[in-house]
Structure formats: structure tokens, C-alpha cells
Amino acid sequence: MARPAEPGRNALLSAGFEVAAARGLAGLSVNAVVDTAGMAKGSFYNHFPTRRDYLVALHRDYHERLNADVAEAIGDMAPGAARLRTGVEAFLDGCRRTRGTKALLAQSRTDADLLPEVSARNDDAAALMTPDMAELGWPDPGAVAVLTVAMIAETALIELYDDSERRDLRDTIMAMVTRLPS
């Protein structure tokens, strides 16, 4: 079982973001993490029993930070288009400024150890958006939310590769989900 958060654990997670940003998930070895953190290898295993446990903790920490950005941005807004847009913008802005986005958003989709985590985070995001889709009048708001999550994730990666905000894509996501089929 992993130990609770403390300076050593947090230093290892911070180092993981640096390594993931520079080398991707494939280059995220225990040795690279402890070298970046300036810690002994034994310290790593005091906090994380396995590399898989570490990857899961890193992935969760990444998404918890993004979710906090979204929660702060939407506050107590009522479900609907304005709340949806605010949440999408907060998520995408957070992806652009968070280290390790490419590894933890794109590469994690193909890492068997992280696939359950990716699915859980996507389900969480869709659940958060489902009331917005219902308010917008979608007959199957959950399905629309799932597809919107995919559009947002792809936009985050495009913005990362372009190294700039893509207003056209952000606006198109909103245009698509706020325009009901006739």
C-alpha cells in the first residue's frame, strides 16, 4: 500500500511530470524519476510498491489538478452552455500549462497499466458534462458527453503540438454540442 502524500512522495510525482514531459511514458523509469528527484531508489519503493502503482498515482495527480481547475472555474454555475464552455476552457487551458500532458493524456491511452485509469477519468468528465447536455436538450446526454470528452482530449493534444490555443476548435466543440439535430 502506498504511503500518504508527503514531501518525498510529492517530489517523486513532480519529478515524474518532468520525466514524462521530456521522455514520454516509455522513458519514465524508476531510475529516471529518482535521479530527477535527487532521491535514493529505495525511497521510491517506500512510496510506490511498483512502477505501475507510481504511474497510476501520477495519472491521478495529473487529472486531479485539471479537475480542480475545472471545479474552480465552474463553481456553482447552473448546468448549461455557459458552464460547459467554462469547464472546457479551464480543462484545455490547464492541459496547456501542465507538464506531461502529452504523456498523461495521449500516451496513457495505449499503456495497458493506465487504461482503466484513462477510462475512469473519461467517465468522470462525461458524468460532469451530462447535466449540461441534458439542459441543452440532448435526448441521450450521456452519449453526447462521452463524445465531447473525446473531442476535448483531441483538441488538447492539437493545442499541445501547435503550442497555442486553437480558438477555432474550441468554438467548434461548443457549436457542435449546442446545436441540436433537427
- The domain locations on the chain are 7-178
CA dihedral sign of residues 30, 33, 38, 42: negative
Q: Amino acid identity, residue 172?
A: T
* Amino acid 28: pLDDT: 86
What angle is formed at CA 141 by the lines to CA 115 and CA 145, rounded to 5 degrees? 35
pTM of this prediction? Answer: 0.86
The x, y and z cell numbers of residue 155, run together, are 483538441
For residue 26, the model assigns a pLDDT of 83
pLDDT of residue 34: 94
Task: For residue 87, give the H/E element and its range.
Answer: helix 81-97
Numbers of helices and strands, H then E, in the chain: 9, 0
> What pLDDT does 23 receive?
87
Question: Mean pLDDT per 10-residue run, the chain (182 residues)?
Answer: 68 91 86 93 91 89 92 98 97 88 77 82 96 96 97 93 95 92 63
Calpha distance 117→87 (Å, rounded): 21
Question: What are the b/e assignments for 77-102, b being 16+ CB within 10 Å?
Answer: eebeeebbbebbbbbbbbbeebbbbb
State residue 104's pLDDT score: 76
CATH level 3 topology of 7-178: Tetracycline Repressor; domain 2 (1.10.357)
Per-residue confidence (pLDDT) for residue 181, from 0 to 100? 65
Is residue 40 exposed (0-12), middle (13-18) or buried (19+ Cβ within 10 Å)? exposed
